[in-house]
């Protein structure tokens, strides 16, 4: 029996080239899940303020897995938080800033504020577009709160920098989080999912989850019913037998009581 549904946003529930808004059809599905006693949870690298605004019409029916699992909210309360040791966060930030050929920009995430080290190459515009609260810094040591995530943004794409940073920072769960992002955090979406299950009494077998990228793997590996997007890289499509072009198709079938396609 499914009692909890999690979905990644960018590249999963929202196409990368979308307007960044959800339609009434998505909200209707979330209300339909709630009527069946199923909780919906967006699982994203975005901060709580951004997710809460995006899902405002149905927020009462949602939990929120934020900052790739480093912060989990339910009914306006913080259920779990996984901060990074400050020396580690600062070391990663300086490495990404100094060793991305002047093309990379860095975001350090607090509980509900993004701190941007910017070259003016598009990161700030993207953060404003998705609705994250943000401010600009020149030195990570100036951040007045715990850091939960450090991210590299490259407007032209992060492919040239994956080998440079992902293996080096595996102790901080470095992972590709989209075409333009690499994220590091001591948490991951699996950490957030386990915290949510523990707090609300769900079993992993009662969880359905949707994702499209490597930062979704920990979540998909825990969920009893994981789906990978059709557009994911071949290695991820091979890892999970259930594929979909749109989570809404699967959720409609679930609500109608018809088995969704397995591949």
Average pLDDT over residues 208-228: 96
Average pLDDT over residues 220-245: 96
pLDDT of residue 21: 84
263 or 53: which leads in pLDDT: 53
Is residue 5 over pLDDT 80?
A: yes
Is residue 17 over pLDDT 80?
A: no
Average pLDDT over residues 243-261: 89
pLDDT of residue 217: 96
Measured in whole angstroms, the distance separating CA 107 from the mean position of its chain's CA atoms is 15
pLDDT of residue 168: 97
- The answer regarding whether domain 4-82+188-256 maps to CATH 3.40.50.10680 reads no
Q: pLDDT tens for residues 80-118?
A: 999 999 999 999 999 999 999 999 999 999 988 999 999
pLDDT of residue 259: 63
Is residue 262 over pLDDT 70?
A: no
Average pLDDT over residues 41-62: 94
207 or 50: which leads in pLDDT: 207
Is residue 24 over pLDDT 60?
A: yes
Average pLDDT over residues 38-58: 94
pLDDT of residue 77: 94
pLDDT of residue 138: 97
* DSSP annotation of 245: S
Task: Enter the pTM of the model.
Answer: 0.84
Using CA atoms of 97, 176, 43, 117 in order, give the dihedral in degrees to the nearest 10: 10
Please tell me the CATH code under which domain 86-184 is placed: 3.30.1240.10
- Distance of CA 165 to CAs 128, 181, 196, Å? 25, 11, 29
Helix (H, G, I), strand (E, B) or coil at 33: helix
Is residue 160 over pLDDT 80?
A: yes
Measured in whole angstroms, the distance separating CA 160 from the mean position of its chain's CA atoms is 22
Return d(Cα 113, Cα 135) in angstroms, integer.
8
Least Cα distance to 40 among 263, 212, 217, 51 occurs for: 51
Is residue 263 over pLDDT 80?
A: no
Residue 132 confidence class, pLDDT cut points 50, 70, 90: confident
Domain map (residue ranges) of the chain: 4-82+188-256, 86-184
| Beta carbons within 8 Å of 209's beta carbon, 6+ residues apart | 5, 6, 7, 43, 193, 216, 219, 220, 222, 223, 225, 226, 227
pLDDT of residue 131: 84
Cβ(55)–Cβ(135) below 8 Å: no
Is residue 235 over pLDDT 90?
A: yes
Average pLDDT value for the chain: 94
Return d(Cα 141, Cα 147) in angstroms, integer.
10
């Amino acid at each position: 029996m499914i009692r909890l549904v999690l979905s990644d946003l960018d590249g999963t529930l929202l196409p990368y080239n979308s307007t960044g808004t959800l339609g009434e059809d998505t909200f209707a599905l979330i209300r339909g899940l709630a009527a069946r006693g199923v909780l919906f949870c967006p699982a994203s690298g975005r901060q709580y303020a951004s997710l809460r605004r995006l899902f405002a019409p149905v927020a009462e029916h949602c939990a929120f897995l934020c900052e790739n699992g480093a912060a989990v909210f339910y009914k306006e309360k913080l259920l779990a938080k996984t901060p990074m040791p400050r020396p580690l966060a600062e070391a990663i930030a300086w490495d990404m800033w100094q060793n991305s050929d002047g093309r990379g920009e860095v975001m350090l995430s607090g509980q509900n504020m993004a701190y941007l080290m910017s070259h003016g190459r598009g990161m700030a515009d993207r953060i404003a577009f998705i609705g994250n609260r943000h401010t600009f810094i020149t030195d990570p040591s100036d951040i007045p709160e715990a850091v939960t995530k450090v991210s590299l943004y490259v407007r032209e794409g992060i492919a040239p920098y994956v080998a440079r940073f992902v293996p080096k920072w595996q102790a901080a769960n470095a992972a590709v989080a989209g075409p333009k992002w690499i994220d590091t955090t001591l948490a991951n979406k699996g950490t957030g999912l386990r915290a949510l299950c523990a707090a609300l009494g769900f079993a992993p077998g009662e969880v359905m989850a949707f994702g499209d990228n490597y930062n979704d793997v920990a979540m998909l590996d825990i969920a009893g019913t994981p789906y990978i997007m059709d557009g994911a890289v071949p290695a991820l499509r091979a890892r999970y037998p259930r594929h979909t072009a749109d989570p809404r198709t699967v959720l409609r079938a679930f609500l109608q009581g018809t088995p969704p396609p397995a591949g």
